[in-house]
Amino acid sequence: MEAPPPYNLCNPNKKSTIINRSYTLLHSVAITSLIFYRLSSFFHSTPFLPLLLAFTSELILSVLWLLSQAFLWRPFIRQTFPERLVQDKNDDELPAIDVFICTADPEKEPLLEVMNTVLSAMAMDYPAEKLSVYVSDDGGCGLTLYAMKEAWEFGRYWVPFCTRFGIKTRCPKLYFSRYDDEFLGQGYEAEKEKIKLKYKLMEKQVQKAESNGKMLGEFNTKNHPAHVEFRVSNMISNSPYILVLDCDMRCNDPTSAKQAMCFHLDPKINSNLAFVQFPQKFHNLSKMDIYDGQLRSTFLVKWPGMDGLQGPMLSGSDTDFTQLKQYLGPSNELVKSLKSAKYNTDVTSRLLEETRFLASCKYEEGTQWGKQASIFTFKYIHITIIIIYASLICRKCFLSFEKQVGFLYMSLLEDYFTGFNLHCEGWKSIFYNPPSPAFLGTATTKLNDTLLQGSRWNCGALQVTCSRFCPLIYGLKSRMSLLQRMCYVYFSLQPFYFFPIWCLATIPQLCLLHGIPLYPKVSNSWFMVFSYIFIMSQLKHLEEVLSTGDPIRTWWNEQRIWMMKAIISYTIGMLNAVLKLLGLKEANFVPTNKVADDEQITFYQNGLFNFQASTVVLTPLITLVSLNMICFAAGATRTIVDGSFNAMFGQIFLSFYVLTVQYPLIDGMIFRKDKGRVPTSVTLLSLAISASFLCFGSLVIKS
């Protein structure tokens, strides 16, 4: 018999593979030559300290570059056919899904945004009896509970309306704000107006509650009464699949769940498939995208590369009832629920009491929730997950699944940490980038928020690096491939970019000021090695940008924001991780601010940086730009006077490159007069720090 058509197709990206591997080979030769040059001339050059710092920076960059090549080794392209799934499976045969929407702070995560996410999830094109939506409010806010009740009431009308007319945009806010409406059958316009009035009424009710401070009681955010927690789903719906969404990650394509099921229900791959991951995409990105909100390199280059590097099948041992209670806590009903994947419709008073117990913040004390991985395998259940890459930091709790007691919390980057443990156990994950965005979130539109969000991510990565779960050493005998491990090691060591960027933005410039060469003369054949590495790195980056369909300005913007993140995000993340390691500070989760005023949005849409940021964020950036301006002007003048341009060209070019890439900072310091300019106080402070560094650095070099 002829085999039925597949639900999905997977093909290697041969063109990218050839380009990537050729680049890796040639670039490796160039880097090896650079290291040989540095070692052979190391003890014949003076002064020693600047050369040592420059060489150390080059070594760190080389190691991180080598690790990053694992992402490029075997990129995949996937395609799904949900229409075939619908033809083969009726509604009764599709597995149930629990949808979890995580929120924490209504002041930073607007309630109407959360409500729209909930409503878009409720209206997904999936059998209603197989879909359960939960909201986990980690802040314990009564206003959020009130808003969810209003959303549920509106959903009673919204979901049937979407189903009846086949609405494609199932987020109410986006649906009612669009202009390209179409006729969808008799009675559509009249019904649409009725639904729109109900939506406006819901908006007014919630806005009124917000303005009145309607809290429905006071709550303790550390141990508040249960709203909805993940463990509770085991007692109520107990679905075998889980969809995790950030509070602002709206369901853009109603068929997204069925698209994921095209992988989970494929018998060739579902036995060891842990999760399907969609890319993070946003509805509020500007054409300029000056803050790299789309994270293009991650979701369009690195993730497709990792898609071809996942591990083999899972193997493990069974456990008994008593052992489960030691890890999952004292709830007998929770442990029993793990033996059954049946949907529970009989919500008795005893069950409600048990769910409140499970949802309490103190339930997990004395258990292994969020701490222990690789302990046991449930004999009678196979729970897998669909993870939407909605947020790197907002997934606070999770349902138990095989070989894992929920999300592991010990790091601020719990998704990275949990995924690493899953892959160590041999589980496989899939990255799927559909033609139409499956989910749309809200990107940060302010420099301050972008850089501080990055500092939290990097602090979390370093927490893992400094723990027993360090990817360099943990699970060396695990089922994870070498290339897959290299990807995890790269992310765990990524914060170390801070050192070479700080060094290369200061040391060559200081030496330029004093006429001390750190690079070969232009007439020296070794200069070609340095030139090749720089030029080919730029061309490879440009090739990646163009291959993903982005304009050339994306290449330039990404370089700028990467430098800023290395200076601020990586540095602050490193300091916070060290303080946490020394017990001097507790790493805490702070939601990213998703509230934006009109002025802030105007700056962002016009491609203007908003420098209304904290002094801690701005001062290092302005200091380094000021330092490069001084050294470039004075150093270039000196080389013209004494005729040393041939020897100092490398350092002159480096300063010029930094100033060109970071021109918006110069513009904000000198030319801009609007509210988004760099504050005068920050400019003066930065100039003072730059002058102090130059004076102190001069003394060190001359000594």
Annotated binding site for UDP-alpha-D-glucose: 108-109, 138
Alpha-helix runs per DSSP H in 414-470: 414-424, 447-465
- DSSP per-residue codes, 287-330: SS-TT-TT-HIIIIIIHHHHTT---------B--HHHHHHHH-S
Given the structure tokens 């993870």, which residue do they identify?
387
Catalytic position from the list 138, 248, 289, 307:
138
DSSP code at position 526: T
| 125: annotated active-site residue | no
Rounded Cα distance between 284 and 171, Å, is: 14
**Beta carbons of 122 and 159 less than 8 angstroms apart:** yes
Q: For the chain, what's the residue count?
A: 703
For residue 95, the 8-state DSSP code is P
CB neighbour list of residue 137: distance below 8 Å, 6 or more residues apart: 103, 104, 144, 145, 227, 228
Measured from the Cβ of residue 212, the count of other Cβ atoms closer than 10 Å reads 9
Question: How many CB atoms are closer than 10 A to CB 539?
Answer: 12
How far apart (Å, rounded) are the C-alpha atoms in residues 571 and 19?
Answer: 33
Type and span of the H or E element at 80: strand 76-80
598 is catalytic: no
Helix spans in 360-495 (H): 414-424, 447-465, 482-493
Do residues 284 and 443 make contact, with C-beta atoms less than 8 angstroms apart? yes
703 CB-contact burial (10 Å; exposed 0-12 / middle 13-18 / buried 19+): exposed
- Indicate the pairing of strand 76-80 with strand 8-12: antiparallel
Give the contacts of 352 (CB within 8 A, at least 6 positions apart).
none
Annotated catalytic residue: which of 125, 289, 292, 415?
415
CA distances for 522 relative to 55, 323, 526, angstroms: 19, 69, 8
Contacts 24+ apart (CB under 8 A), 19-24: 19/543, 20/69, 20/72, 20/73, 20/75, 21/72, 21/73, 23/72, 23/536, 23/540, 24/69, 24/72, 24/73
- 38 Cβ contact list (under 8 Å, min separation 6): 55, 58
* Residues 524 and 654 sit within 8 Å (Cβ to Cβ): no
What one-character DSSP code corresponds to residue 404?
A: B
Could you give the residue numbers annotated as active site?
138, 415
